[in-house]
Amino acid sequence: MSQTIKALISLRELILNGDLAPGERLLEVGLVDQLGVSRTPVRAALARLADEGLLEKMAGGGYAVREFTVHDIHDSVEMRGTLEGMAARLAAERGVSVLSISKIKECVASIDDLLNKTELASEEIACYLELNELYHRQLLRLSESFVVERMLERIVTLPFASPNAFVIAQSEIGQSWKVFLVAQEQHRGIVEAIENREGMRAEALAREHARLSLRVLRTALKNKAALDQVPGSKLISNVAA
């Protein structure tokens, strides 16, 4: 592993785990000792994390850990839904190959198999995370749009914006099974709409699917055990809101 990647991964984990508090100013010298790398990789990691949105550049130089409001989370999830909706609509309007649609159908079927159980163990949650990420990656590819893909890649680097951001928290909430089933019905509906060339329906379903994360967020904000399962939860400034 290169020094820069090591610094990037370590620093990102420190931020998301809450070891570096929102608003805390980061100094290169201190991070060199803390991360065990030289100054150049630290500088590169800081710039990358600022680009991802985890840090903000200070007026007098240097960086500080960004604080996120509940409104920021809403905006990032809505933006992901908008872009995924556009990807789904483009795929439906332009048409997709039999091979491409069969691959995403296989992913949906694998999630079906997983959800046949009445309760998911930790290893099965991990499997769901992988399949859910695969589904969303395949959905994006169906659009065959470099522009949408590039923009969505930037959005999902934000904390709370990725399709998996609230999945583990969801599993901690009562009646979480219903949310998994609703999400899976939306997965299936999006694929069917794309296959049937129903662009507006595919877009609407994809946007509504993203908003499912906001439902989990509202519940998690009232449930500390669930909220603690959300990566970066300690960066949220107005949890009481």
Helices (H), 95-235: 98-114, 122-143, 146-155, 167-172, 176-195, 199-220, 224-227
Q: Does pLDDT of 241 surpass 60?
A: no
Residue-wise pLDDT tens digits, 155-172: 998 888 999 998 888 877
Quick one: average pLDDT of 29-42?
A: 91
Quick one: average pLDDT of 188-202?
A: 98
Average pLDDT over the chain, rounded to an integer? 91
Distances (CA, A) of 153 to 69, 140, 214: 21, 10, 20
Q: What is the DSSP string of 154-176?
A: HHTTSTTTSTTTTHHHHHHSTTH
- Of 85, 59, 35, the residue nearest 211 (C-alpha): 85
Q: From the CA atom positions of the chain, what is the Rg in Å?
A: 19
Q: Give the CATH class of 3-65.
A: mainly alpha
Helix (H) or strand (E) holding 16: helix 3-16
Model pLDDT, residue 238: 61
Quick one: average pLDDT of 167-195?
A: 87
- Of 196, 194, 214, 188, the residue nearest 140 (C-alpha): 194
* Pairing of the two strands 63-65 and 25-26: antiparallel
Please name the CATH architecture into which domain 70-235 falls.
Up-down Bundle (1.20)
Per-residue DSSP letter, 230: S
Query: Taking the model in full, what pTM does it have?
Result: 0.87
Residue-wise pLDDT tens digits, 54-109: 999 998 888 999 999 999 999 999 999 999 999 999 999 999 999 999 999 999 99
* Sequence ranges of the domains in the chain: 3-65, 70-235
Q: Does pLDDT of 113 surpass 60?
A: yes
